[in-house]
Amino acid sequence: MSSEGWTIEKVLKTGLSMEEGANKLYTNASGMAKDPGSKQLLKELAADEAKHMDYFKRVLADPMKELDKYRGEGKRRIVNLRIGDPLKEQPLSRDATYQDTLIFAIKSEKTANEFYSALASLLKGEPLGSMLESFAAIEMGHKEKLEREYDEVVLRDS
């Protein structure tokens, strides 16, 4: 990934768009989930994404004031279970199963992690780079939660 063409505003607007998409995905998926624990997990993820949306909006409004708030978020040990890595993703449809939704969400979180990680490496040492490193870790944590859910619900029933 090249830093060419990436302004602070473009990075933040792209991040906001990603968080909005994830929020919508988890909100819709929670409505489809039948398992109460799964429904709760998806609602929690949607709420996390809503907080991230609010954060990106605040940073867009006043970057210097807000950029420092996520420093250190990536310090928690996160396990990349890689359960979802080999799974084939398909576009979600109204007929999507809970398994399809989890796979789609796992892939979405992986993509978000990779995006934030790549941009963070371009901006290493800058406040925006630190914020993006934190968001990369947060997204990997979401992937971990979803892979654990997949393991406990889908693979257990196989």
- What string of H, E and C letters represents the secondary structure of the chain? CCCCCCCHHHHHHHHHHHHHHHHHHHHHHHHHCCCHHHHHHHHHHHHHHHHHHHHHHHHHHCHHHHHHHHCCHHHCCCCCCCCCCCCCCCCCCCCCCHHHHHHHHHHHHHHHHHHHHHHHHHCCCCHHHHHHHHHHHHHHHHHHHHHHHHHHHHHHHC
Report the share of the chain in percent with pLDDT over 70.
85
Residue 32, token pair as written in the block: 């489809």
Q: How much is the pTM?
A: 0.81
> Sign of torsion, CA 23 27 28 32?
positive
Find, among 19, 105, 108, 29, the residue nearest to 70 by Cα: 19
- What tens digit of pLDDT does each residue of 51-82 get? 999 989 998 998 877 776 655 554 556 667 67
Q: State the Cα–Cα distance between residues 20 and 54, nearest whole angstrom.
A: 10
Q: Looking at residue 54, what is its pLDDT?
A: 94
Q: What is the mean pLDDT of the chain?
A: 83
Q: What is the pLDDT of residues 101-157, one digit of tens each?
A: 888 889 989 999 999 999 889 888 888 888 888 889 989 999 998 999 889 888 887
46-76 burial, b at 16+ Cβ within 10 Å, e below that, comes to bebbbebbebbeebeeeeeebbeebeebbee
Domains of the chain with CATH codes: 8-157 (1.20.1260.10)
